[in-house]
Amino acid sequence: MRSEIEPGGRKPRSFIEEARRAQIVASAVAVIAEVGFAQASLARIAKHAGISKGVISYHFAGKEELMEEVVTRVYTEAADHVLAEMEGLQDAGELLRTYVIANAAHMRRHRAQIMALGEIFNNLRTAEGKPRYGVQTSEEIYQALESVFRLGQRTGRFRDFDLRVMAVTLSAAMDSMFGYWAAYPEHDLEAHARELADLFERACST
């Protein structure tokens, strides 16, 4: 099971090429997390990286490609971590709980990255003004969650509820957990995650 956000990898032309791209992406993450997407201009990102603005244009086709690279790196890393934690589990309830807890753990260790990811998801638009990452981007997540719910229903562990509604709601619950923690860093993320796991276990169970 692997993320489908960016199916094909790219081949770096040189070591410097790859290093520069990684550095620019890191600066983009830092700047977006600090000042928000709207204020994250190429000039600001370049300044943070200690390079000239033109360097970004040299290594990336445009701002959109840079943002997509940020999404790809951060998203795949998070997905890989969560999926690795879920690997091997058989019980739908455990899968559900692990999904919630592992996600929270990853958020806590990669706060800036996830904040940047959310900013880009919410704000990046195509040239025509349409959201670059809309609801259809979440389709992959929805289907993965639905497969867990379906397993639970098949084994009799879960009651008979609408798969899509539950998936959309759980996904939104995770986002809101992160959003609340982002706004109130003192908030106990782990406790929130445990409450969420209980909440959805009760909502799903027979």
Partner DNA sequence: TCAATTTCTGACCGCATGGCCAAAATCTAG
Partner DNA sequence: CTAGATTTTGGCCATGCGGTCAGAAATTGA
203 binds, among a second copy, DNA, none (CB under 5 to 8 A by kind): a second copy
151 binds, among DNA, a second copy, none (CB under 5 to 8 A by kind): none
The sign of the CA dihedral 10, 102, 143, 25 is negative
Work out how close the CB of 62 gets to DNA at its nearest, in angstroms, rounded to a whole number.
Answer: 3
55 binds, among a second copy, DNA, none (CB under 5 to 8 A by kind): DNA
Binding site for a second copy (CB under 8 A): 35-36, 38-39, 122-123, 125, 129-131, 134-136, 161-162, 165-166, 168-169, 171-173, 175-177, 179-180, 183-184, 191-192, 195-196, 198-200, 202-203
Question: Using CB under 7 A, which of 3, 6, 17, 173 touches DNA?
Answer: 17
| Footprint of DNA on 36-65 (CB under 7 A) | 39-44, 51-55, 57-59, 62-64
Q: How far apart are alpha carbons 150 and 122 in whole angstroms?
A: 29
Work out how close the CB of 20 gets to a second copy at its nearest, in angstroms, rounded to a whole number.
Answer: 27
Are 43 and 53 within 8 A, CB to CB? yes
Specify which residues 95 forms β-bridges with: none
Residue closer to DNA (CB basis): 131 or 171: 131
Residue closer to DNA (CB basis): 62 or 179: 62
CA 140 to chain centroid? 12
82 binds, among DNA, a second copy, none (CB under 5 to 8 A by kind): none
Residue with tokens 């209980």: 198
Work out how close the CB of 84 gets to a second copy at its nearest, in angstroms, rounded to a whole number.
Answer: 26
Work out how close the CB of 14 gets to DNA at its nearest, in angstroms, rounded to a whole number.
Answer: 4
